[in-house]
Structure 1
Amino acid sequence: MKNPQIQVRRKPRQSRAKLTQEALQDSFVRLLHERQADKITIREITDLAGVGLGTFYEYFSKKEDLVALTIHRHVKNNAENLKTYAHSLIKLSTNLALDEYLKQVIRYQLEQIQAQQFLWAQTFLLERQISNIESYRKSYEMMVQMWQSILAPVIKDAEQLKRISLNMQRVCYGFVSQTLLVEPEFGEWVMLKREILLSLGKSNFE
């Protein structure tokens, strides 16, 4: 059952508090490699992070809040990483065609996901288990905005930019999330990249 409200009890305002919160998230991710999320206890998370139960409850009211924040951080970090890479391509070439630009960005995105395949498979699964519709919409909008930032240097028309950015998110998210949900140990990444590009009408990428 999806949780109707997932909230962080207290946002860290000092660097030490932020590190503590991140340590709790990192501990959860490490334990996730050993067992399913519903089998992980708060005590195990705090023990691995080296903090007490009281510290956990300073920031989170329940485990699902920690899971939600961990998912958000993972998705946000990926978006920032992809934007940085895309903008570096623009700096290296002032005459990069849209087709080639998208091909390189998608290739890089898939390589990053493949490198953390287990975590991404778990992220998509947990997202469906705990995220309410409002959280999902915010996350989706963040990714659409990421694509707008990536495509803005090569698409000047505002309406076209909005439309293509939305379709990029629809296609890439749909292909990758559905693939890893059904087959967490999926291995045909070259084929997946080709099919994503073909679905975007870029058959000349082959």
Structure 2
Amino acid sequence: MKNPEIQVRRKPRQSRAKLTQEALQESFVRLLHERAAHDITIREITDLAGVGLGTFYEYFSKKEDLIALTIHRQVKNNAEDLKTYAQSLIKLSTNLSFQDYLKQVIHYQLEQIQAQQFLWAQTFLLERQISNIESYRKSYEMMVQMWQSILVPFIQNTEQVKGISLNVQRVCYGFVSQTLLVEPEFREWKNLKFEIIKAIILGK
């Protein structure tokens, strides 16, 4: 059963509170390496994070809210990291073609996902189990907007950049999520990159 949107009881306005919330997320991720999410208890998460149950309920009403926020931050961090990398490419090269630029950005994105392959495989799985349609749409739209900001230096037409960004997200998300859902320990990343670039740039 899908849960309503992320219910965060208290937003971490102070650095200490933010660190506590992050510690809870990190503890959940560490426990994921040992067993499935539905087998992990809130008590285990708080014990590993070094906080009490009361602290957990200051921020979350249930375990699913913590999981939903962990998924959201994983996607958001990836988007911010990718935008930073794309900006660095623009600054470092004044003679970069659009195709080479896009290839390098996609290559970097796949490298980052491969480096956290277990977490991404779990993210895609939990996204289907926990996220409701509104949360999913928000995350998807965030990634499309990320691609828009990455592609706009080469494509100034507003409607065109929106359309291309949507298609790039469709291809990248579709290829990677379906691959890791079916084969969490996937190893043929070079071939996957080739297929994604072929689908986006060559349209095949």
- Does TM, normalized by the shorter one, top 0.5? yes
The answer as to 2:95 corresponding to 1:95 is yes
1:146-174 per-residue CA deviation (whole Å, 9 max, x = no partner) reads: 00111111111111111110011000000
CA distance in 1, matches of 2:126, 2:188: 23
Match of 2:35 in 1: 35
Output the amino acid matched with 1:56: F
- Aligned amino acid, residue 197 of structure 1: I
Identity %: 84
CA-based RMSD: 1.2
Question: Does the residue aligned with 2:201 lie in a helix, a strand or coil?
Answer: coil
- Confirm whether residue 139 of structure 1 aligns to residue 120 of structure 2: no
Q: Do the aligned residues in 2 keep the contact of 1:99 with 1:202 (CA within 8 Å)?
A: no
Task: Provide Cα deviations, 1:17-61, integer angstroms capped at 9, x if missing partner.
Answer: 011000000100111111110010000000000000000000000
The amino acid that maps onto 2:162 is: K
Q: 1-side partners of 2:6 and 2:65: how far apart?
A: 5
- Note if contact 1:24-1:49 (Cα within 8 Å) is conserved in structure 2: yes
Output the CA distance in 1 between the equivalents of 2:142 and 2:94: 27
Structure 2 Cα separation of the partners of residues 7 and 133 of structure 1: 15
Match of 1:72 in 2: 72
Deviation at 1:4, TM superposition (A): 2.9
TM-score scaled by length of structure 1: 0.97
- Work out the number of aligned pairs and report it: 204
Q: Which amino acid aligns with 2:163?
A: R
Superposed displacement of residue 5, structure 1: 3.7
1:50 maps to which residue?
A: 50
Q: 2:46 aligns to what SS in structure 1?
A: helix
Task: Between 8-17 and 118-127, report the one with greater CA deviation.
Answer: 8-17
**Structure 1 runs, 4 residues or longer, greater than 6 Å off:** none
Separation in structure 2 between the aligned mates of residue 194 and residue 5 of structure 1, nearest angstrom: 36
- What SS does the aligned partner of 1:155 have? coil
Cross-structure match for 1:120: 120
TM-score by length of 2: 0.97
The 5 Å alignment of 1:193-204 reads 193-202=193-202
**Letter of the structure 1 residue corresponding to residue 8 of structure 2:** V
Which residue pairs with 1:151 in the alignment? Answer: 151
Write the distance in 2 (CA, Å) between the matches of 1:19 and 1:6. Answer: 19
Counterpart of 1:105? 105
Query: Per the alignment, in what secondary structure is the counterpart of residue 200 of structure 1?
Result: helix
Aligned to 2:173: 173
Separation (CA, whole Å) in 1 of partners of 2:56 and 2:202: 48
